[in-house]
Chain A
Amino acid sequence: MTHLSTLKGHPAAKWIGLAMIAAALIALPFVLAMAGTAWVRITNLAILFVLLSLGLNIVVGFAGLLDLGYIAFYAVGAYVYALLASPHFNIHLPWWVIIPMGAAVACFFGVLLGAPTLKLRGDYLAIVTLGFGEIIRIFLNNLSDPFNLTNGPKGISTIDPIRFLGIDFGITTRLGPLVFSEAIKYYYFLLAVVLIVIVVNLRLQNSRIGRAWEAIREDELAARSMGINTRNMKLLAFAMGASFGGVAGGMFSSIQGFISPESFILTESVMVLSMVVLGGMGNIWGVILGAILLSFVPEVLRYTVEPLQRMLFGRSIIDPEVIRMLLFGVAMVGMMLFRPAGLLPSPVRKRELTVTAPP
């Protein structure tokens, strides 16, 4: 039997590794389903957060712009899907029409917001996006009167599931011994989408555009003097991040089947930002790691902190939700202070964030 170490460096090793990862990813939902369908759902949400984080990474990681209201674009995508595929207006368009539409509408809002602010300093973008995140929620809550567009705080329910190649994602099908529950079907769909997004991101990073973003992030003045149209490039990053958010929102709508403004609060924006910061701004794999780690934090807390408190004090004193938010806040501050480039830093970003500029 050959020793495993001889495989290292072998041309086939890379492919064997990839095949093993692929097999693991394909088998994963069935393993999780044994522990309960809830775990598959949690995994699906984690993948959605990976999607969101990759979108935000384009803005924060690649182009170095701080977007504090990213969830607003997610909300826009989600509501576009919900309005065009639910009994609310009795419109039922297919998903391959609506998801691109959601991306386009989110992109439109991104341009609308980015155009006035991106020519200014980055700080303004941060505060404007922070405000926008809140404003979108106010509108979603109030656009029910006198015209009932969003159904207000009650939200929109019975949103159509995705139907793809004759497969209805809203029902459970059996293939021999294999039970494909709706969560498992969505898992594969999300996995496919996330793979596409990863490939797009990897290609973007090394493209002319990606390098332009990097140049802007490192030194905007120098980038401009090299002939990069900095404002348009920043706008492109912002709009692209927004449309990724829109796509994720559409998926969220169809998976949940119900959305309300409550799903799109500031907390969520902060959560996605902490994922990007924790994993490593600008590094695609780092961001994915950050998203997965932080997506499971609430679940881990629910199963550890609550019982622990009950055991120690006989009742729940600190809400796990509060601990989660404190953790996000501490993660952001701590990472910036001690490991500014993230858990898995991108080499360029690391150099950039650790070398201090002269005052």
Chain B
Amino acid sequence: VDIFLQQVVNGLTLGCVYAVVALGYTMVYGIIQLINFAHGEVVMIGCMVAFSVMVALAGSGLPPMVIVGAGVAAAVPVCMAVGYIVERIAYRPLRNAPRLAPLITAIGVSIILQHLALLVWSRNFIAFPQIIELRLYHLGTSEHAAAISNVQIAIILASVAMMAGLLWLVHRTKIGIAMRATSQNPLVAGLMGVDINRVISFTFVVGAALGAMAGVMVGTYYGIAHYQMGFLLGLKAFSAAVLGGIGNLAGAVLGGILMGLIEALGAGYIGDFTNVCFLDQFLPGFTEICEASPESSLFGSNYKDVYAFIVLILVLVFRPQGLLGERVGDRA
């Protein structure tokens, strides 16, 4: 198997999911300069709701596309409602409070959502029902060429469609103009007749809807859902948004895809480069370990969750405004 190409395919798929989640962070940040810590939880709730519906319908004999569609159709409105309620209760009253206050409520809301999900769905993992037959399409003629599955293709196509839809919404519709105006200057936008509260609510709701879709995609990709899945996913997606330049939609997409590639390639290659037998060729002291356990590496794929964080730190050190961002990092 062509490992490099395979990892690129996997990374691209994962990156599309990160990009969609990152869009949710970046939209909210762009408009009210708040890190919505609860966004990862919204993604998790989307995934759990969709999975519950799909599990319930799995035995009904309906065609797979209808079942998946029903899951999405259930998850999106639930997440939109969650996004709206969270903004209304936890963030709106604190819009003019000192910066620390909404950050603390954000983490509080995240904890509440996570544990409510725990109450509803218990601690157990929910498995994706076996309704879709996995098909592999080889990218080449030989049996061993890298392959892309139908699920991966669907994820990539759906993400691209959502990104295009969002761009259209923000740049071509009236509410999109209102969103951009609010993000530039809420006070002046208000004076121009924009209903700020409605626009901000709308932003949260759209972000949550994207989150729900992302939840379904990530759940389908890994085949499993859990009440804690939102935390790391959210952290990675936020790092992706920072990498691309927070507040910038194109940046979130770019950052998400890069983050997916970094994670996939990092998991694939850093393990090889830090393999004890590989290191033995250059450094002293690894001979014994190499003989004892030739398979082990210093940083194997069990560290894959660390890379996003390292990228975040590096971006903050060297280019705090992100790849495409123009905002200065330390606006008071």
Contact = CB atoms under 8 A, between A and B. Distances in A.
Contact of B317 (A116, A277, A281, A340): A116
Contacts of B116: 326
B223 interface: no
Contacts of A306: none
Contact of B107 (A131, A332, A340): A332
A333 B105 contact: yes
A320 to B, nearest CB: 12
Given A123-B99, A326-B112, A333-B90, 4 more contacts: A116-B317, A146-B293, A322-B119, A336-B94
29 contacts: A64-B100, A66-B103, A68-B107, A124-B316, A126-B107, A127-B235, A127-B238, A128-B313, A130-B37, A131-B309, A134-B305, A138-B302, A138-B306, A220-B332, A221-B332, A270-B107, A273-B104, A322-B115, A322-B118, A325-B111, A325-B114, A332-B107, A333-B90, A336-B104, A337-B90, A337-B94, A353-B97, A353-B101, A359-B187
A120 interface: yes
Interface of A: 60, 64, 66, 68, 113, 116-117, 119-124, 126-128, 130-132, 134-135, 138-139, 141-142, 145-147, 220-221, 266, 270, 273-274, 277, 281, 318, 322, 325-326, 328-333, 336-337, 340, 352-353, 356-359
Interface residues of B, number: 60
Closest 5 CB pairs of A and B: A332-B108, A329-B112, A329-B111, A333-B108, A116-B317
A134 B320 contact: no
A123 B235 contact: no
Given A60-B100, A126-B35, A127-B312, A332 B330 contact: no
Interface string B250-271: 0000000000000000000000
B232 A134 contact: yes
Contact of A121 (B89, B97, B101, B331): B331
Nearest to B111: A329
B100 A66 contact: yes
B8 to A, nearest CB: 25
B231 interface: yes
A141, A221, A270: residue with the most chain B Cβ atoms closer than 10 Å: A270
A277 B102 CA distance: 13
B276 interface: yes
Nearest to A359: B96
A66 B110 CA distance: 15
Interface of B: 33-35, 37, 89-90, 93-105, 107-112, 114-116, 118-119, 186-187, 231-232, 235, 238-239, 242, 276, 289, 293, 296-298, 300, 302-303, 305-306, 308-309, 312-313, 316-317, 320, 329-332
The interface residues of chain A, by DSSP majority, are classed as helix
Contacts, number: 151
Majority secondary structure, B binding face: helix
Given A322-B119, A340-B101, A146 B95 contact: no
B330 A120 contact: yes
Given A131-B239, A333-B108, A119 B94 contact: no
Contacts of A277: 104
Contact of B329 (A121, A128, A135, A352): A121
A332 B101 CA distance: 9
Nearest to A143: B298
B313 A66 contact: no
B108 A131 contact: no
A120 B119 contact: no
Given A145-B296, A358-B96, A359-B186, A122 B103 contact: yes
B293 to A, nearest CB: 6
B108 A331 contact: yes
Nearest to B302: A142
B101 A130 contact: no
A117 B316 contact: yes
A138 B96 contact: no
A142 B232 contact: no
Most-contacted residue by chain A among B35, B99, B107, B298 (CB, 10 A): B107
A277 B105 CA distance: 10
Contacts of B239: 127, 131
A64 B99 CA distance: 9
A58 B20 CA distance: 37
B40 to A, nearest CB: 10
